[in-house]
């Protein structure tokens, strides 16, 4: 067995592992850093749906480039870490014994399949959206000459898959247990807008129902369809299970590292496990919400990257005090040519959490004047505490600028900004790029929230 030495061992090479490595390199230039990953090529996780349609068209166009890292002097190894001795600080792969000083778990997540659907995984034509080139290539090839697809799950991967497949000519049905798609991220009136576009792309959406059986009529191990709780049977050549992800903690559990809620590795604010030589980042770590610090199921590459930055600079003492805390669940997606984005708590979540909130919303155009050729509608909703007017959440529907606008609201949440400050914020506006300065939608939504507060005070 080959012996390998390093100072910092990172197990896993998704966004969290990669950012941890680069950050560690910048902060500890003298340390030897080794990243161990299972596969030669790593997919960009959030772009996986787009390899199925014409946007990317192939997994070859969705590979994370690693060249820069080699130049930075970060070593890589393609192997699977099978075991660890935390006391002697050695990790074992089939061929190597890797001694380390600090270890970062960045083992990511894997598809979550409800027990009642596990039987389906053996059938040809049933796929999960694993972050694995081989599986995705197989699914894509299989889909090539098939027509009828059922997507199970109405989270953002499910919805993006459905739109991409429908746009490339398949008959797609998407089934979810909630009344609306993208539950948790969008309130129902906004999800309804997204559903309209979904339907306009030819996707059949069935909500408030669930798949109870994946059907193999002929007993030939080839899927024929799905049966829903309501009794509906849908014929299908391909069934895609997009029912979420769960932390991949196989290795951590094996060696007795404590887990948190929802099965992620327990970590403190600086991504340290109880043993300060062992860290965990990304989807395999346990997250908390920013508002109540209760466990969160949110899995986002952007959150993982932020965690990698914290871990990568906290390996040998806390070099930087962490700026913000708890996941604000900030994300965007495209449905057709409309962008939907969300951050913080939704109105529904605020109510469930017992927060006394008011809503400020504003509808306008993303260009000014509205006669600018590519002008689109733009809608902003802010969720704001009634007492003090602190911004807790936001949702935006609009053009592609929405992807960056939500980051403005994200920063407002992270800095604890109130609508009273937001109302006089200065913004850049330009006819071809933004809404009018007189009607800048985040400011207008803040003003609307203030009015709500004042009305309720009367």
Q: Could you tell me the smallest distance in angstroms from the CB atom of residue 324 to its own copies?
A: 6
Confirm or reject binding of residue 362 to its own copies (CB under 8 A).
Answer: no
| Residue closer to its own copies (CB basis): 92 or 324 | 324
In the structure encoding, which two tokens stand for residue 3, read together? 């012996």
Residues 6+ apart with CB under 8 A from 87: none
Cβ atoms of 153 and 241 within 8 Å: the answer is: yes
Letters for 435-454 (x = contact with its own copies by CB under 8 A, - = none) are -xxx-x--x---x--xx---
Query: In this structure, are strands 377-385 and 391-398 parallel, antiparallel, or unpaired?
Result: antiparallel
CA distance 320 to 322: 6
Q: Total residues at the site for its own copies (CB under 8 A)?
A: 86
CA 417 to chain centre: 25
| Residue closer to its own copies (CB basis): 57 or 177 | 57
Which residues inside 16-45 make contact with its own copies, applying CB under 8 A?
18-19, 22-23, 26, 44
| Residue closer to its own copies (CB basis): 205 or 270 | 270
**From the list 187, 347, 349, 414, which residue makes contact with its own copies (rule: CB under 8 A)?**
414
Q: Using DSSP, state whether 79 is helix, strand or coil.
A: coil
**From the list 82, 254, 404, 456, which residue makes contact with its own copies (rule: CB under 8 A)?**
404
Query: In this structure, are strands 377-385 and 357-365 parallel, antiparallel, or unpaired?
Result: antiparallel
Confirm or reject binding of residue 129 to its own copies (CB under 8 A).
Answer: no
Cβ atoms of 127 and 237 within 8 Å: the answer is: no
Stretch binding its own copies (CB under 8 A), from 120-128, 167-175, 190-198, 415-423 = 415-423
CA distance 165 to 53: 6
Letters for 132-151 (x = contact with its own copies by CB under 8 A, - = none) are --------------------
Q: Could you tell me the smallest distance in angstroms from the CB atom of residue 329 to its own copies?
A: 9
Stretch binding its own copies (CB under 8 A), from 119-127, 145-153, 245-253, 333-341 = 333-341
Stretch binding its own copies (CB under 8 A), from 116-124, 144-152, 192-200, 362-370 = 362-370
Confirm or reject binding of residue 186 to its own copies (CB under 8 A).
Answer: no
Confirm or reject binding of residue 66 to its own copies (CB under 8 A).
Answer: no
Confirm or reject binding of residue 328 to its own copies (CB under 8 A).
Answer: yes
Confirm or reject binding of residue 168 to its own copies (CB under 8 A).
Answer: no
Confirm or reject binding of residue 56 to its own copies (CB under 8 A).
Answer: yes
| Residue closer to its own copies (CB basis): 19 or 104 | 19
Residues 6+ apart with CB under 8 A from 267: 260, 273, 279, 280, 281, 285, 286
**From the list 33, 291, 339, 397, which residue makes contact with its own copies (rule: CB under 8 A)?**
339
CA distance 312 to 253: 23
CA distance 375 to 32: 51
* Phi-psi region at 426: left, alpha or beta (left = phi > 0; alpha = psi -120 to 50): beta
Q: Could you tell me the smallest distance in angstroms from the CB atom of residue 86 to its own copies?
A: 27
Confirm or reject binding of residue 293 to its own copies (CB under 8 A).
Answer: no
**From the list 308, 357, 391, 449, which residue makes contact with its own copies (rule: CB under 8 A)?**
308
Stretch binding its own copies (CB under 8 A), from 95-103, 234-242, 254-262, 397-405 = 397-405
Confirm or reject binding of residue 401 to its own copies (CB under 8 A).
Answer: yes
In the structure encoding, which two tokens stand for residue 221, read together? 């191990």
CA dist list (Å): 179 to 98, 187, 195 = 50, 11, 11
CA distance 225 to 329: 34
Q: Could you tell me the smallest distance in angstroms from the CB atom of residue 457 to its own copies?
A: 13
| Residue closer to its own copies (CB basis): 100 or 440 | 440
Helix-strand-coil split of the chain, %, nearest 5: 30, 30, 40
DSSP letters along 291-335, please?
TT--EE----HHHHHHHHHHHHTSTTS--S--S--SB---EEEEE
Confirm or reject binding of residue 420 to its own copies (CB under 8 A).
Answer: yes
Cβ atoms of 308 and 20 within 8 Å: the answer is: yes
| Residue closer to its own copies (CB basis): 150 or 299 | 299
Q: Could you tell me the smallest distance in angstroms from the CB atom of residue 192 to its own copies?
A: 21
| Residue closer to its own copies (CB basis): 110 or 368 | 368
Confirm or reject binding of residue 379 to its own copies (CB under 8 A).
Answer: no
| Residue closer to its own copies (CB basis): 191 or 338 | 338
Strands (E), 331-426: 331-335, 338-344, 357-365, 377-385, 391-398
């Amino acid at each position: 067995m080959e012996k390998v030495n390093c100072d910092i061992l990172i197990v896993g090479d998704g966004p969290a592992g990669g950012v941890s490595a680069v950050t560690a390199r910048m902060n500890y230039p003298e340390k030897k850093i080794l990243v161990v990953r299972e596969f030669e090529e790593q997919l960009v996780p959030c772009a996986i749906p787009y390899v199925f349609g014409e946007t990317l068209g192939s997994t070859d166009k969705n590979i994370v480039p690693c060249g820069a890292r080699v130049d930075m002097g970060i070593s890589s190894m393609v192997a699977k870490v099978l075991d660890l001795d935390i006391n002697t600080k050695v990790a074992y792969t089939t061929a190597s014994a890797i001694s380390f000083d600090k270890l970062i778990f960045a083992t990511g997540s894997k598809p979550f399949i409800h027990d009642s659907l596990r039987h389906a995984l053996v059938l040809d034509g049933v796929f999960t959206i694993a972050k694995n080139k081989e599986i995705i290539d197989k699914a894509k090839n299989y889909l090539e000459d098939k027509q009828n697809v059922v997507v199970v799950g109405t989270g953002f991967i499910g919805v993006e898959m459905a739109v991409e497949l429908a746009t490339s000519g398949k008959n797609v049905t998407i089934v979810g247990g909630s009344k609306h798609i993208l539950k948790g991220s969008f309130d129902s009136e906004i999800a309804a807008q997204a559903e309209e576009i979904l339907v306009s792309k030819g996707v059949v959406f069935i909500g408030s129902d669930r798949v109870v059986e994946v059907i193999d009529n002929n007993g030939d191990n080839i899927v024929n369809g799905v049966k829903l709780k309501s009794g509906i049977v849908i014929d299908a050549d391909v069934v895609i299970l997009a029912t979420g992800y769960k932390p991949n903690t196989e290795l951590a559990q094996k060696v007795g590292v404590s887990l948190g809620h929802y099965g992620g590795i327990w970590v403190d604010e600086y991504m340290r496990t109880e043993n300060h030589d062992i860290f965990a980042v990304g989807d395999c770590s346990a997250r908390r919400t920013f508002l109540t610090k209760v466990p969160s199921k949110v899995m986002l590459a952007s959150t993982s990257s932020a965690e990698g930055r914290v871990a990568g600079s906290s390996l040998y003492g806390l070099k930087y005090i962490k700026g913000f805390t708890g996941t604000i669940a900030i994300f965007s997606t495209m449905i057709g040519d409309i962008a939907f984005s969300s951050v913080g708590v939704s109105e529904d979540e605020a109510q469930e959490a017992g927060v006394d909130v008011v809503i400020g919303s504003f509808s306008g155009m993303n260009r000014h004047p509205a006669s600018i050729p590519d002008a689109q509608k733009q809608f902003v909703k802010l969720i704001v505490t009634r007492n003090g007017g602190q911004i807790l959440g936001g949702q935006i529907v609009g053009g592609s600028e929405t992807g960056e606008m939500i980051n403005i609201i994200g920063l407002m949440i992270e800095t604890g900004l109130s609508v009273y400050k937001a109302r006089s914020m200065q913004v850049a506006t330009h006819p071809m790029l933004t809404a009018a300065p007189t009607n800048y939608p985040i400011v207008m939504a803040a003003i609307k929230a203030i009015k709500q507060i004042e009305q309720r005070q009367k």
